[in-house]
Amino acid sequence: MNRDRIKWGLAALVVITGLTFAALSPASLPENRPAERVQKLSTVDLASLLEKTAEYSRRLESSALYFVCREEISEKIDPALDAPPPPAVKTWSTADSWSGMESRGAIAITAPLSKIKRSYVYEYQCVRKDGRFQEVRTLLEENGKKMNEPNAKLKTSIMFYENAMLGPAGIFRKEYQAEFDYAILGTDKFEKKPVVVIDAKPKPGAPEVNTLYGKVWVDPSTGNIVKIEYCENRIGHYEVFEARGIKYNRKPRITQRAEFSPEKNGLRFPSKLYIEEAYLNARGRVFVRSETTVVYKDFKFFTVEVDVR
């Protein structure tokens, strides 16, 4: 079965067999926020903030975890541009002659491909101990139908992801920081609290790192990473999107966003993943081929032990 999938986590996104997490929308860019919601950048010390994020990344990677939560996934796929156009079919009324139809050209009768919606609900269990990370899922619902499938695999057709908890760690690890350029873009609000938006990207000529990076929302008081919009060029096998764009005669635009809301013992846990696969035509009009949303809720924590050295 051909299935478009994405592998998301501490390592770079990897597309398994075909597909599919981007730039800030104009409405969300810090420079477009009302003036009263933006702090003066001179009050934000980048060096101090990088020290905090490095320490947060270290604690995140060295922590022992054991928790269970509900994982709700929805997929929307619009395959309108996927199929080649059907052959032309000549149609006419009793008043038309065949020769008249030929002179005016055939009329193609086409039926648009139906949009696809899928949903899955899992019980998600995460265990991390001694540096080893294990994810176990039990499928509870599929497309609204009650299920009970222990040790289930992800049945998503758009993306495949893992280790969502560890996504932030690679961006600010102490040993990586010398290879990155960091810049403060501005300040924003996350859940009504002020945060700093940092752009992270490798230095020109720096060795390629096996991590994700992009724009990151950071709590300036703790260094906690609360939101990430990943750089498009970090998607594994991006050539798949480029090829699809050529087929559509459009430019691919892939949006990848992760949010981390629940907090336990100073660590943030994933609350939402969002992926949009879109294509722009020459006029800049957007065709959204697919959207995938993953929501985590109802956390039950059994162990969250953080190395505080």
What is the pLDDT at residue 211?
67
CA-derived radius of gyration, the chain: 23
Start-to-end CA distance of the chain, whole Å, equals 48
d(CA 179, CA 149): 44
What is the pLDDT at residue 218?
96
Phi-psi region of 163 (alpha: psi -120 to 50; beta: other; left: phi over 0): left
User: pTM for the whole thing?
Assistant: 0.77
Both tokens of residue 90? 């000549």
d(CA 162, CA 63): 17
What is the pLDDT at residue 25?
32
From the list 178, 192, 190, 256, the residue with the least C-alpha distance to 225 is: 190
**Count helices and strands in the chain by DSSP H and E runs:** 3, 13
| Total Cβ atoms within 10 A of residue 216 | 24
Contact indicator for 300, 126 with CB cutoff of 8 Å: no
> pLDDT (tens digit, 0 to 9) for every residue of the chain, 309 residues total?
444 444 444 333 333 222 223 233 333 334 444 333 334 555 789 999 999 999 999 998 889 999 999 999 999 999 999 877 666 555 544 444 444 444 444 445 556 688 999 999 999 999 988 878 899 999 999 999 999 999 999 998 877 777 777 777 778 989 888 889 999 999 999 999 999 999 998 888 766 666 678 899 999 999 999 999 988 766 666 777 888 999 999 999 988 899 999 999 999 999 999 989 999 999 999 999 999 999 999 999 998 888 766
Work out the burial of residue 57: count CB atoms within 10 Å of its CB; fewer than 13 is exposed, 13-18 middle, 19 or more buried: buried
Specify the DSSP class assigned to residue 63.
Answer: -
What is the pLDDT at residue 133?
85
What is the pLDDT at residue 88?
55
